[in-house]
């Protein structure tokens, strides 16, 4: 079993910077603004030969019951309770604060093993805070600079020692071989405008209150990844920040969150665009759907808060007609009504996700592709342009993800866009690719009799 290591501490002590440093890549948003991290973020990493699961948490702080800060702290304390090891981080330049002492008591009460880490120790200004940290009762602190990478080797050694003391059950050797593609989790990003119910849907799919939810828009900032299994198929689920029109994005934290959400779309394989039924097909929704298509990602549209609709059949027909009219490039995209809060419709939603994922990965057998191509061209030959025929010779599929085809023809620059759209639509309908982006490129075959000018 992989050991879980939680990084905890008050806001702005460098938890996300240390998380990124130990993970070996930038996964969590980092900025001088305190409280940027709100949901816990996880990543697979390795300490020596030992595989570990890192968990970055929101800052621990005193706050009024029911407030966003209180909910963040509750989630962080919950992560600590289930950890195999806690890295309790303090800011050595600021010294030990009353908040550090209070949260040290809460962490000690959890009974979990703790390594005290004094961050920002890159200069003499940290010396007093480093020695003051002994009074927290966790033994000798590890002096590091997460930003500059100083002391990380010693921290690795202390982590390895702590896990060895807990026994082999809490750590396993890091994987030596690359995981086969068929066994990798499907990468699924849930996107939409603020307050569309994305985090609520993530919590419902995971079966636990992993993400902070509430009526306040913009609670999620990082593109938070969580792994789970759905009918024995692995899924890596990304909850993203709500995306508003660019002109309305003013705060630096929101700008960072928007950039992270857009990266999640590019990283994903399937994108679920979650739309509020009461504000369906806002301009921002259309732009997000178009972005997913441009990036070549398979798309599913979820209509949230469906339990509020009365005449559901009529409303669904109207929505599908509007989507077909306003997003013609996404003809056939699945539209699934859901209630993120109650979980109704999530089975149909995940079935649609796996269906479009399979189509997105599909390779058409050569014989089937050539048969379709011959029938499509014979049934509707390309028009003559400037009195000259355009010969369509053959088609090939160089790769999938998304399905991409190359058609070799005599005059690719002269083939009308309308005829190219006809071929794309026929491909979708006849070969089972209706719900995914399809790329078709035109090429002129090389003349074997032309002199070689290379």
Q: How far apart are CA 280 and CA 196, in angstroms?
A: 10
Q: Report if pTM > 0.95.
A: no
Q: Which residues of the chain have pLDDT under 50?
A: 28-38, 68, 168-181, 211-223, 244-257, 454
**What are the residue ranges spanned by the domains of the chain?**
3-173, 181-360, 366-443
Residue 300: both structure tokens together: 């599913």
Beta bridge partners of 322: none
* Domain covering 3-173 assigned CATH 3.30.499.10 in the classification: no
Contact 221, 253 (CB under 8 A): yes
pLDDT of residue 412: 92
Residue 36: both structure tokens together: 């940027």
Contact 439, 402 (CB under 8 A): yes
Q: How far apart are CA 440 and CA 405, in angstroms?
A: 5
pLDDT of residue 419: 95
| SS3 at position 188 | strand
What Cα–Cα distance (Å) separates residue 18 from each residue in 30, 91, 146?
10, 12, 5
Fold for 181-360, please state it: Rossmann fold (3.40.50)
318-354 per-position pLDDT tens digit: 999 999 899 888 888 999 999 999 999 999 999 999 9
Return phi, psi of residue 327, to 5°: -130, 65
Same fold, 3-173 and 366-443: no
pLDDT of residue 413: 93
Residue 235: both structure tokens together: 């899924």
Fold for 366-443, please state it: GMP Synthetase; Chain A, domain 3 (3.30.300)
To the nearest whole percent, how much of the chain has pLDDT over 70? 77
Tokens 């990493």 belong to which residue?
A: 45
Residue 83: both structure tokens together: 């950890």
Share of the chain residues as helix, strand and coil, in percent rounded to the nearest 5: 40, 20, 40
Q: How far apart are CA 351 and CA 330, in angstroms?
A: 18
Burial of 186 (0-12, 13-18, 19+ CB in 10 A): buried
DSSP character for 192? -
Q: Which residues of 100-138 are buried (b: 16+ CB within 10 A; e: fewer)?
A: beebbeebeebebbbbbbbbbbbeeebeebbebbeebeb
């Amino acid at each position: 079993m992989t050991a879980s290591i939680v990084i905890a501490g008050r806001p702005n002590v460098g938890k996300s910077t240390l998380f990124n440093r130990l993970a070996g890549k930038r996964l969590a948003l980092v900025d001088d603004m305190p409280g940027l991290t709100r949901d816990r973020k996880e990543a697979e990493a390795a300490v020596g030969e030992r595989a570990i699961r890192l968990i970055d948490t929101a800052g621990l702080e005193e706050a009024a019951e029911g407030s966003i800060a209180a909910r963040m702290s509750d989630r962080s304390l919950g992560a600590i309770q289930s950890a195999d090891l806690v890295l309790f981080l303090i800011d050595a330049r600021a010294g030990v604060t009353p908040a550090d002492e209070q949260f040290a008591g809460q962490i000690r009460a959890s009974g979990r093993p703790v390594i005290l880490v004094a961050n920002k120790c890159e200069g003499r200004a940290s010396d007093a805070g480093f020695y003051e940290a002994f009074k927290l009762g966790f033994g000798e602190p590890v002096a590091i600079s997460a930003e500059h990478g100083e002391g990380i080797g010693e921290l690795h050694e202390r982590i390895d020692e702590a896990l060895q003391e807990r026994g082999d059950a809490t750590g396993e050797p890091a994987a030596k071989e690359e995981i086969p593609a068929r066994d990798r989790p499907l990468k699924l990003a849930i996107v939409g405008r603020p307050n569309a119910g994305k985090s609520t849907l993530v919590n419902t799919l995971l079966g636990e209150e992993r993400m902070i939810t509430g009526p306040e828009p913009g609670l999620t900032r990082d593109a938070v990844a969580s792994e789970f299994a759905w009918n024995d198929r692995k899924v890596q689920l990304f909850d993203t920040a709500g995306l508003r029109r660019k002109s309305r994005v003013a705060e630096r934290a929101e700008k960072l969150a928007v950039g992270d959400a857009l990266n999640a779309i590019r990283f994903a394989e399937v994108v679920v665009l979650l739309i509020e039924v009461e504000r369906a097909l806002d301009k921002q929704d259309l732009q997000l759907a178009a972005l997913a298509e441009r990036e070549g990602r398979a798309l599913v549209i979820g209509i949230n808060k469906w339990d509020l609709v009365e005449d559901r059949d009529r409303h669904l027909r109207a929505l599908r007609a509007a989507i077909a009219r306003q997003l013609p490039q996404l003809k056939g995209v699945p539209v699934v009504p859901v209630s993120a809060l109650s979980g109704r419709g999530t089975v149909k939603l995940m079935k649609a996700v796996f269906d479009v994922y399979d189509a997105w990965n599909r390779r058409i057998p050569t014989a089937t592709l050539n048969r379709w191509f011959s029938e499509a061209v014979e049934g509707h030959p390309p028009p003559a342009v400037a009195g000259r025929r355009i010969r369509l010779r053959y088609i090939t599929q160089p790769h999938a993800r998304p399905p991409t085809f190359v058609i070799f023809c005599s005059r690719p620059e002269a083939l009308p866009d309308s005829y190219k759209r006809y071929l794309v639509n026929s491909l979708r309908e006849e070969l089972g690719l209706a719900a995914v982006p399809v790329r078709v490129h035109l090429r002129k075959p090389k003349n074997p009799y032309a002199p070689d000018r290379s």
